[in-house]
Amino acid sequence: MRVRKGFTLIELLVVLVVLGILSGIAIAKFVNTKELAYIASMKADLRNFALYEQNYLIDSQGAYFAGTGAAQGFVPTPGVTVTATFDPGPPPSWHAIATHDKSAATCSITTTGVSAWDIDCP
């Protein structure tokens, strides 16, 4: 009788195929997670930007600012760019767009009042 001292080629191939399938599933989930993280950082920056707009409105007696907010002290998350546009109205309002340098997604924020805004991301 022969004593078996290792795995057969078939057993090794089955293990490699199973590991390949599992790693393919995991990689697909991680790619989606990174995209969701980029979108979450854009949404957070738009919320913070809205607070800067509200504070500026209070300090300037009724005006909003346009641009990136750098002059007002706004610093976005690394990789995120936020650009606002001022609409003189009436009533005065603003909207902004956020992009991330590692994502094709774009998020936007629109105002419907002094402290009401809506963030939209695809």
pLDDT exceeds cutoff 70 at 113: no
> How far is Cα 100 from Cα 107, in angstroms, rounded to an integer?
9
> What does the domain layout of the chain look like in residue ranges?
9-120
Query: How much is the pLDDT for 96?
Result: 95
Average pLDDT over residues 46-69: 89
Average pLDDT over residues 2-11: 83
Residue 80's Cβ-count burial label (10 Å; 0-12, 13-18, 19+) is buried
- Give the HSE-up count for residue 25: Cα atoms under 13 Å, Cβ half-sphere: 6
pLDDT exceeds cutoff 80 at 116: no
Average pLDDT over residues 83-100: 89
Query: How much is the pLDDT for 62?
Result: 76
